[in-house]
Structure 1
Amino acid sequence: MATWYRLLSLGRCWLQQLLGPCHRFGTPWAWIVLYSQGLDPAIFKLTSLQLLDLSMNNFGQHILPASGFERLSLLTHLNLSNSRFQGKIPIGISKLVNLISLDLSVSYYDTTEDSLSDYDSSIGIISYVFWLPNFQNLVANLNSLRELYLDGVDMSSSGDWCHALAESLPDLRVLSLSSCFLGGPICWSLSRLDSLTAINLEDNFDIPATFPEFFMDFSNLSVLQLARTNLQGWFPRRVFESKTLRVLDLSGNQDLLGHVPNFSNASSLETMMLDGTNLSFGKPGSFSNFKSLQTLSLDVDFAFMEHQSSLGIHMSLQHLELTQMESTKDLGLILSWIGDLQNLASLELSGWNFSRTSFSSVAKLKNLKSLSMYYCNFTKPSLSAIRNLVNLRSLVINQCELNGPMPSAIGDLADLESLEIIAYDFLGPIPSAIGNLRSLKSLEINAHGLLGPIPSSIGNLSSLIRLAISAFEFSGPMPPAICNLSNLEALEMRSSGFFGPIPYAIGLLKKLTSLRLQECSFSGSIPNSVFNLTRLIELDLSFNLLSGEIPTSVFTIPTLRRLDIHFNQLSGSIKDFDATSSHLVFVDLSKNNLIGHIPKSFFQLRCLAYLDIGWNNLVGSVDLSSFWRLRNLNHLDLSNNKLSVRDMDGEDNNSPSTYIPRVTWLGLSCNLTEFPVSLAHLNQVSYLDLSSNRISGAIPKWMWVTWNSSLTYLNLSHNLLSIMQFTSYVLPFDQLEILDLSFNQLQGQIPMPSPPAAMLYYSNNNFSSVLPNFTLYLGQEFRISKNKISGHIPKSVCDSTIGVLDLSFNNFSGQIPSCLIEDGYMSVLSLRENQFEGMLPTNIKDYCFLHTLDLNNNKIEGQLPRTLTKCLQLEFLDIGNNNMVGIFPSYLGVLPRLRVLVMRSNRFYGSMSGALHNGDKSGEYFSSLQILDVASNNFFGNLSPDWFEGLKSMMTELNSTGEIISALNGSGNGNVEHAYQDTVTIYYKSIYRTFNKILTTLTVIDLSNNSFGGTIPGSLGRLFSLHVLNMSGNAFTGDIPREFGRMTQLESLDLSQNQLSGDIPDALTNLTFLGILNLSNNQLVGRIPWSGQFATFQNNSFEGNLGLCGLPLSNPCDIRPAPPSVAHGEKSSHVDVILFLFVGLGFGIGFAAAILMRWGRIGEWFVKSARALRT
């Protein structure tokens, strides 16, 4: 075989018969490229290969084999671009001395972004790029290389790239290193490469230097792309005079200065991109020399420097990009010039404000076929003139402010084939005129504020192939007219207000290849008519309210490759089905209510690459070897079910390596008691989750060795692990991003990966130490809470870029490095429950990003820095249980997001009411605060009734859904699983309780154990959503405010140990959630109310009030009056007389007299007679 193949090309134009039944062409809207589980080492047996092209395919983010390429010694052309490989570029490529062309580039604008191949989006991070540790080693022997494409390859640590190129590649013609994280200036030695015809270094932001003028000595240079490379200084005019240069892109270099010269000979430039620079025209008319120019990109200010008369002569111009952004120029002249470009076919406008100028000049471009507008601002009638662009084929309005409804004039563009509108301020419905666009093939609308139903006229778009509508507030069923679009191949409804059942008529769309109804509110069962869609490749019904069982037929649609119905309410068991005709590649049924066993049919899906059935209620025993027989399997998640997972191959000590698939993503939170031995044979795992099992003992050494070059995510948390088997406390992982070993029983020194992982979680273990230089290995997050670690924080932590640092519940001591607070780049700093001392730094920078500052229970002294007001993101501040002093920090009231303020057990003093008047007077005073704890300080004075008026978040039931207050991890990727959650300890229901998850519904005010006096303000009663109020241990006087009866969410009320008087208001019986009440040790009097929750309280809630009577106290309320005095004799009540009658006249007469007393004049006579007898 080795002698047969000279050329092997399996790029996007591969042949169906080469691929087998698991691969298939799709449509332009949902096409599937070649999918493979990595590069088969058998390819290295083709030693006679001269050309190998595997570009534009999906190799499942596998890592290229470390060895093997060196065997292809005759190779002259190697193209692995955009093939979803990742990891370190194999050193074997450097030994291909006959290479003429090498392309390992990665495009960040992947045309398959929405296709089936993007199956890994659930991870939250998509990583499929190469990285190169040493550029010199790669190119040292490739002396024959003519073309080098490494776009998107991470070369940030690859050394001196510039000198390596000059020394090793003397005959290089094409150099393309865009987006490679290159550093350092463009060196002079690069001038040796005088055969270069194309140079692309764009999007390398760390090349601060002047323009290398020696580039213009390259006699054959035709393409020069240096956009966004931080070029500085003066740009030479000779570049514009080049006879060979056709493409020049300098855009995005804001510090690049110079003039476009006026020269006699016509320029050869066909494409010139100068937007985002500080270049200008040297003389009027200079632009007229660009006779061949077809594509031009300018800033508006740039264009204003030229006379429009000379600009207007460029009849060759076909594509124009103009950016306005912050310019305040009158756009009338520019628009007039644009209107004269009658041959212009494509126009792109960015940042234009059409509220100050007319759009009509643009509408004069009769030959315009493509119009794209980004970040523009329109007045209501501006776009009406768009109807004049009668030849328009493509219209894009992206991120623009329309300030009104979608213009109905769009309906007059009869030849329009593609319409994309993405906006956030629509005010009205989709116009019915959109039904006039009979030539429209693609329609995408993504808009908030779009009201009313989708017009039935949308059913007139008979040519429509793709329809995507998402993110708008329309609420109702899916319009039946959509089901009339018989040519539709792709239908997407996302984040919409659609509800009700999925229409049965959806089955009439016979040409559908992609059906995505995501993040809607569709309910009911999956309609059987879906199974009539015999061309369907992709079915995505995720994030809905669908219920019932999964129809068996959905698994047997012969064309279906991707099935995603996760996050619904589907129930019942998954029935077995005939898998012989199925070509399913992707199946996601996670986060439903499925029961029963895993169907055996799943193990017969020979094309299956992705299977996620986690977060259900599946039961039974399953053997991993059943999954290993699925040769294409790449992603497997069985987590959070009731499964019993076995590893029979591991138990028999038989190596499954002869058939085990190349699984890279594995989730097995499945009640495991030991590590599956067969995992040791998976040599390219990038994601492994074995959390929440019952695995005990040691973490095996093979886990650190086998995957050190592939692993990006490892989660072993919530197990019983106690030992780590490794030879060094520095773990050599090439790509590790997340390591979670928290909630185990691990001991000794904490290991640190190198290079640093982004997120490290070691909390809740028994670790006793860290590496002396551990700060050298810090990434974005480092959490070691609740261990037994002591020592100081080294000052070298200031050299890191850490965003989340949690050292809480340890034994650290010494001073806190000032940079952790002053530099402001951290989002979370938790040093709770340690022995830190000293004072807090005061010079916090303006760009403070601090979200959480938790210093509770240390030995910190001094005052709270006023510069904390610069931390506008601050939500959580806990400085309780320290030795801090000062007055109440009213200045913090201006922080718009501050939710938790804990200052208990310090030495703060003064009047809080006085502090109010020094704070913010706008009414937004502590407006987001939900927990205020200033207990056990030295505050005194009366509380102003106005003090509580600013606590807006406690006045209404905001966030009644009970969200958790949390700071996302330092990477900001939104991974909820590892979101940092604040911890607070408060006096709650008579005990100190620690909340590890603080809900937004938890509202607390604790003013206890201070010296507050005066009456309690009734304005407290306006805090309707308050849950806990503790004002005990003060000197409050007067009555209990009856307004407290309005705080209907109150669960705990403690007013004990004050000097309150009067009776207990009956209004307090309205507090139906009140579980804890303490009014003891006051001067309250009268009867205790005996209804509602008051019937559940014990004596200790009321003791120490000598004037109280009634249950539950043993002191009854005595109705016997005190002996009357002479002065009050004439005012004795009827009750006094009745008692006399009963005693003096005997029971019988007295009873009768008592009845008669209540009856008119007879009663009055009895009273007088009785009083006479008493005298």
Structure 2
Amino acid sequence: MKTFLVSWFSFNSYIAVFFSISNLVLVSGQCQSDQRQLLLEFKSSFNSTFTSPGKMMKWNQTSDCCSWDGVSCDDGGHVIGLDLSNGIIVGAIDNSSSLFRLQHLQRLNLAFNLFINAFPSGFEKLENLCYLNLSNAGFTGQIPVEISRLTRLVTLDLSVILFQRSLELEMLVQNLTRLRFLYLDGVNISATGNKWCRALSPLTELQALSMSDCCLSGPMDSSLSKLRSLSVIRLDHNNLSGLVPPFLAEFPNLTSLHLNDNDLSGRLPEEIFQIPTLQALDLSNNKVLEGSIKKFPLNASLQTLRLVHTHIGGQIPESIGNLGQLTRIELAFCKFSGPIPKTVKKLSQLVYLNFCSNRFSGPIPNFSSSRNLTELNLADNQLNGTIHSTDWSGLSKLESVDLQTNKLSGTIPPTLFGIPSLQALVLSENQFDGSIGDLHGKASLLLRSLDLRSNKLQGQFPVSLFEFHGLEYLSLSSNNFSGLIPMTAFQNLRNLSYLDLSYNRLSIDATTTNISLLSFPTFNSLGLGSCNLTEFPDFLKNQTSLNYLDLSKNQIHGGIPNWVWKAKSLSYLNLSQNFLVEFERPLRNITSTLWFLDLHGNQLHGKIPILPLHAIYLDYSNNNFNSVLPAHVGDFLQSANFFSISNNNFHGSIPRSICNSSALKVLDLSNNSLRGPIPQCLFQMNVSLGVLNLGRNNLSGIISDTFSESCQLQTLHLNQNRLEGKVPKSLANCKMLEVLDIGNNLINGSFPCHLTSIAMLRVLVLRSNNFSGHIDCSGDNSGWKMLQIFYLASNNFSGKLHLTCLGTWDAMQPNRDKNQSELKDLRFEGEALDPFYYQDSIIVTIKGLELELVKILTIFTTIDISCNNFEGPIPEVIGTFKALYGLNFSHNAFSGPIPVFFGNLRELESVDLSSNSLDGEIPLQLANLNFLSFLNVSNNKLVGPIPTSTQLQSFSEASFENNAGLCGPPLKATCGLPPATTDNPSDARSTINWNYISAETGFCFGFGVSVTLLIFWKTWRIWYFERMDRALSWLFPCLPLETRKHGRRATRNQRRH
């Protein structure tokens, strides 16, 4: 369909053509009888019973046909114009129709009717036609090529012909060299660029070309550059590919260019934005089209700009202020960044602005001068600051404001609520704070939708919202609103269908005593999560249209009532994190309309209930179910994407029927008491399966070697079972695998080098198995660039550690985009009706403690190869892992010194090198590790002083014990003074220094007298010790501890030597 702009342009063009024909007049002469008879015959060919007479209603024998509606004549009384468009005429026009005997016809318009026959082939008889419009007329089948005989045609519109076969464009237009306006929208041309462009190239007078949805393909041919008179080009909704031709910017009269919804690629010529005559530009939905906007020309004519869903980006130039006539701009889902220029305040004619889903930053500019603005959408960007710069009260025509998913802060201006035309206000997922305040008499009475969820708003619930009787959508969830709200207060909002008050500090009073349950609004979505409910609200019994219900994280005790399952429209039900213990008996079949059911985090027990047949998301985890899984459980999971029963007491074996769940993306049966072998078919269904978690059960047998080549697994947890055998070779087919945890089993064999081909692997846990032998993965060493957690602890690996053979571990290197990566964690994201994600978790030993990481941040990096038999020096490649967080090489046979490169690993927080055979001194560089919070080098052969630093001296003595030659704080053993040195040792032995001899003799004499008095004179001895204790305690409060350390060090030195 042509837009208003094109229609307006075409109308004016038609008028121009109309007046350019010298013998065409609007005031017709006396109708000739033969002309009247032909028209009446044409009218009579339609069955009046089924046809709206429209413009032919007053056609009769007695009146002048030149005065009939839709008819125009020349001075001689010949019919030269017939306009029966939009008449909803139903019937057929055959080849013998009297229409084709109106030989003087110059203009014929039959558009928008219901002619239900095949395309007639008599139009070529109307040789004088200069205007022919058969668009949407209802004709079917092939367009007759005889139309090409109408050589006087200036305008031809054949848009939307039903059931039409491919048209040979060249044959249609080969003789129509006078054409100025050609509209073929919806006509099946099915031609490549070099064919259709060359077919049109002779039409050098063409001013408007509209070929939307014509199955055009390939790049546009250079022959199109001959059509320099073109003013309107519409080639949208085709399969055009390749570059946007630069020659389009050279057309001097181009006003409208629509290339949207194609497959154009490459870089957009910058000159396109600088065409001074261009009024409308639409390049949207060319998803790989790139480019940027350098500048807009002065006094630009652009009125509409659409670049939605392209890769065009960069910063918007300040020259956007030159677009003084711009009324509509859509840059949504592009790659724009940087601040929105302040010069947008010059866009006084702006009506519609949509910049959503880009990377715009900085404050929202002032839109106060855009007083015609009706819609403002800046959602899903990185905008910050307050929104007080705009005088919202002056934008009286504004109907919709969407600023969600930004970083906006401060209070919400009351004037924003007071815009008189405002119907939708969306400020969710920002950082707005403060209270809403009293909106009584200050807000738009037209407000239909208000979304303030996920902010930091606080204060009492704004009760003035109950005055907005037209409100249909209200979401205040995930804020800090407080207060007690009676549910009956919502009875005044009769149009309210969506309400979400979840996750505030609100308390909902759901008491409905003496209140008609029919007086509540008819909800289709209701969120009352974390609202301190203690029971199921009674009014829900009558909510027959309810589609979405969230009562999670409340204080609801007891059983789930049967009436919940009677809601025939209910598709989403979340009752998680309550105190529910059972299902009301007799248990009815759970409603078959549910596609989302979340019961996790309750105390439900007994048998698992019958599952909803068409459910997509089912979470029964963290309960007390204690039955076997039904043998036919898989029959109820035909549509399921997510199924979790983790952390219950299910026992028995895994039913084979679960393999019939071909749509499963997440299957979590972990932390139960399931036993027996893992069904082999479970490993064969991984074409769709993204997460398989069978960890912490009692499963036995082997891991089947049946992983398919199309494996889509991203997470595989088989840890803490009794699995044995070797790691299957086919597991290497799972190229998307990010997390593999098979720790705490009985798996044996050598290191699984075949897994190095999984380039996406981030977490590898082989701990506590029976692996043995050397790690020697020869060949390609490019794998595991993303590996961040490497756990081989408690196996029987031996030999030297060759980590370089496992690839370059780029994830251990410094992260250039650390600020972004800190916000990311490993998860599997599903694409159900309501997108979900599965949070990966893992058990690690860090800082000497075993912890469960419920989120695995992509910046968390650790290597644990403890409790093996590795030997030799610590590999030098470790010195390149400058993003390493934790390292545990304890309980091996590593030897040699602690490498100095440890001082370069500035991110290290935990280092355990204990129980090895490391020798030499602790390198001074360890004192540079400012983040180090755990260090254990005990039980080695280290010597020398512990380097002095705030970090190292903060560790306990246990971190350094059992190193016979180690000294200094925090050990008790102090380090002695170094021996004196001289330049000539031989002279030192032969020369007597009498000053030293005199001092030593005096010291010995005085010391002897003091000792004699201490031994033989008790009173002196007591007085001396008291005075010395006081003096030393005041001067050296730690002297007794240090003395003990001296004694301990001496003893160790005696044992060592």
Smaller-chain TM-score bracket: 0.7 to 0.9
1:750 equivalent in alignment to 2:608: yes
Cα distance in 2 for partners of 1:351, 1:1044 equals 63
Residue 594 (structure 2) aligns with: 736
Match of 2:618 among 753, 760, 765: 760
Asked if 2 retains the 8 angstrom alpha-carbon contact of 1:909 and 1:940, the reply is: yes
Cα distance in 1 for partners of 2:294, 2:972 equals 77
Residue 1044 (structure 2) aligns with: none
Residue 1162 (structure 1) aligns with: none
1:318 equivalent in alignment to 2:204: no
Identity of aligned residues (%): 33
1:530-609 to structure 2, matched below 5 A, reads: 530-579=392-441, 582-609=445-472
Residue 572 (structure 2) aligns with: 713
Match of 2:211 among 318, 321, 346: 346
1:471-482 to structure 2, matched below 5 A, reads: 471=333, 474-482=336-344
Match of 1:956 among 792, 814, 818: 814
Residue 800 (structure 2) aligns with: 942
Residue 32 (structure 2) aligns with: none
1:524-535 to structure 2, matched below 5 A, reads: 524-527=386-389, 529-535=391-397
User: Matched residue of 1:531: which SS?
Assistant: helix
Higher relative contact order (CA 8 A, sep 6+): 1
Residue 794 (structure 1) aligns with: 655
Shift of 1:885: 2.0
Cα distance in 2 for partners of 1:662, 1:243 equals 45
Cα distance in 2 for partners of 1:611, 1:1050 equals 48
One-letter code aligned to 2:519: Y
Shift of 1:456: 2.3
Residue 932 (structure 2) aligns with: 1074
Taking a change above 3 Å as real, the CA distance of residues 644 and 1103 of structure 1, as seen in their structure-2 partners, is same
1:335 equivalent in alignment to 2:200: no
Residue 640 (structure 1) aligns with: 503
Taking a change above 3 Å as real, the CA distance of residues 287 and 759 of structure 1, as seen in their structure-2 partners, is farther
1:511 equivalent in alignment to 2:372: yes
Cα distance in 2 for partners of 1:1136, 1:794 equals 95
Shift of 1:392: 5.9
Asked if 2 retains the 8 angstrom alpha-carbon contact of 1:596 and 1:619, the reply is: yes
Residue 553 (structure 2) aligns with: 692
Asked if 1 retains the 8 angstrom alpha-carbon contact of 2:812 and 2:861, the reply is: yes
Cα distance in 1 for partners of 2:806, 2:674 equals 38
Residue 893 (structure 2) aligns with: 1035
1:645-660 to structure 2, matched below 5 A, reads: 645-649=508-512, 652=513, 654-660=514-520
1:1013-1059 deviation per Cα after TM superposition (whole angstroms, max 9, x unaligned): 11111220211111111111111111111101111111211111111
Cα distance in 2 for partners of 1:1135, 1:474 equals 85
Residue 271 (structure 2) aligns with: 408
1:203-602 to structure 2, matched below 5 A, reads: 244-245=117-118, 312=174, 318-319=184-185, 332-340=194-202, 345-348=210-213, 352=217, 354=219, 358=222, 360=224, 363=227, 366=230, 369-372=233-236, 376-379=240-243, 382-385=245-248, 387-388=250-251, 390=253, 393-398=256-261, 400-409=263-272, 411-412=274-275, 414=277, 416-422=279-285, 429-433=292-296, 438=301, 440-441=303-304, 443-444=306-307, 447-448=310-311, 450-456=313-319, 458-462=321-325, 464-471=326-333, 474-504=336-366, 506-520=367-381, 521-527=383-389, 529-579=391-441, 582-602=445-465
Cα distance in 1 for partners of 2:187, 2:885 equals 58
One-letter code aligned to 2:211: S
Taking a change above 3 Å as real, the CA distance of residues 1139 and 662 of structure 1, as seen in their structure-2 partners, is farther
Shift of 1:483: 2.9
Asked which structure has the greater CA Rg, the reply is 2
User: Matched residue of 2:224: which SS?
Assistant: coil
Cα distance in 2 for partners of 1:1139, 1:842 equals 86
1:682 equivalent in alignment to 2:543: yes
One-letter code aligned to 1:736: L
Taking a change above 3 Å as real, the CA distance of residues 1108 and 489 of structure 1, as seen in their structure-2 partners, is same
Cα distance in 2 for partners of 1:1131, 1:680 equals 107
489-498 or 1074-1083, which moves further after superposition?
Answer: 489-498
Shift of 1:730: 3.8
Residue 727 (structure 1) aligns with: 586
1:173-213 deviation per Cα after TM superposition (whole angstroms, max 9, x unaligned): xxxxxxxxxxxxxxxxxxxxxxx999xxxxxxxxxxxxxxx
User: Matched residue of 1:507: which SS?
Assistant: coil
Shift of 1:968: 3.5
Residue 849 (structure 1) aligns with: 712
Shift of 1:340: 5.0
Cα distance in 2 for partners of 1:375, 1:1063 equals 71
Asked if 2 retains the 8 angstrom alpha-carbon contact of 1:621 and 1:646, the reply is: yes
Shift of 1:1091: 1.5
Match of 2:878 among 984, 1007, 1020: 1020
Asked if 2 retains the 8 angstrom alpha-carbon contact of 1:986 and 1:992, the reply is: yes
> Over aligned residue pairs, what C-alpha RMSD do you find?
4.0
Residue 925 (structure 1) aligns with: 783
Cα distance in 1 for partners of 2:241, 2:992 equals 86
Cα distance in 2 for partners of 1:309, 1:681 equals 66
Residue 523 (structure 2) aligns with: 663
One-letter code aligned to 2:859: T
1:890 equivalent in alignment to 2:749: no
Match of 1:775 among 634, 642, 648: 634
Asked if 2 retains the 8 angstrom alpha-carbon contact of 1:363 and 1:389, the reply is: no
Residue 176 (structure 1) aligns with: none
1:826-841 to structure 2, matched below 5 A, reads: 826-841=689-704
Cα distance in 2 for partners of 1:1091, 1:587 equals 57
Taking a change above 3 Å as real, the CA distance of residues 1105 and 852 of structure 1, as seen in their structure-2 partners, is same
Shift of 1:421: 3.8
Shift of 1:674: 2.4
Cα distance in 1 for partners of 2:310, 2:172 equals 41
Asked if 2 retains the 8 angstrom alpha-carbon contact of 1:348 and 1:372, the reply is: yes
Residue 1093 (structure 1) aligns with: 951
One-letter code aligned to 1:525: I
Cα distance in 1 for partners of 2:718, 2:444 equals 62
Cα distance in 1 for partners of 2:921, 2:933 equals 20
Taking a change above 3 Å as real, the CA distance of residues 525 and 939 of structure 1, as seen in their structure-2 partners, is same
One-letter code aligned to 1:346: M
One-letter code aligned to 1:740: D
Taking a change above 3 Å as real, the CA distance of residues 479 and 981 of structure 1, as seen in their structure-2 partners, is closer
313-322 or 1095-1104, which moves further after superposition?
Answer: 313-322
Taking a change above 3 Å as real, the CA distance of residues 1086 and 441 of structure 1, as seen in their structure-2 partners, is closer
Taking a change above 3 Å as real, the CA distance of residues 1029 and 399 of structure 1, as seen in their structure-2 partners, is farther
Cα distance in 1 for partners of 2:517, 2:226 equals 65
One-letter code aligned to 1:696: H
Residue 252 (structure 1) aligns with: none
Residue 861 (structure 2) aligns with: 1003
Aligned length, in residue pairs: 857
Residue 201 (structure 1) aligns with: none
Cα distance in 2 for partners of 1:273, 1:1036 equals 84
1:805 equivalent in alignment to 2:667: yes
Taking a change above 3 Å as real, the CA distance of residues 728 and 288 of structure 1, as seen in their structure-2 partners, is farther
**Could you list the runs of 5+ residues in structure 2 that have no partner in the other structure?**
6-49, 51-89, 93-114, 121-136, 151-155, 1007-1057
Cα distance in 1 for partners of 2:967, 2:413 equals 69
Asked if 1 retains the 8 angstrom alpha-carbon contact of 2:703 and 2:725, the reply is: yes
User: Matched residue of 1:557: which SS?
Assistant: coil
Shift of 1:1099: 2.0
1:558-580 deviation per Cα after TM superposition (whole angstroms, max 9, x unaligned): 22111111222222211112348
1:388-439 deviation per Cα after TM superposition (whole angstroms, max 9, x unaligned): 3846645134465553344424644736445344556676642545666526
Cα distance in 2 for partners of 1:1149, 1:1080 equals 45
Match of 2:726 among 863, 888, 895: 863
One-letter code aligned to 2:963: N
Taking a change above 3 Å as real, the CA distance of residues 985 and 797 of structure 1, as seen in their structure-2 partners, is same
Q: State TM-score, norm by structure 2.
A: 0.74
Q: State TM-score, norm by structure 1.
A: 0.67
**Could you list the runs of 5+ residues in structure 1 that have no partner in the other structure?**
1-26, 29-99, 101-195, 199-241, 248-267, 275-284, 1151-1175
Asked if 1 retains the 8 angstrom alpha-carbon contact of 2:249 and 2:271, the reply is: no
User: Matched residue of 2:412: which SS?
Assistant: coil
Asked if 2 retains the 8 angstrom alpha-carbon contact of 1:699 and 1:725, the reply is: yes
Shift of 1:595: 1.5
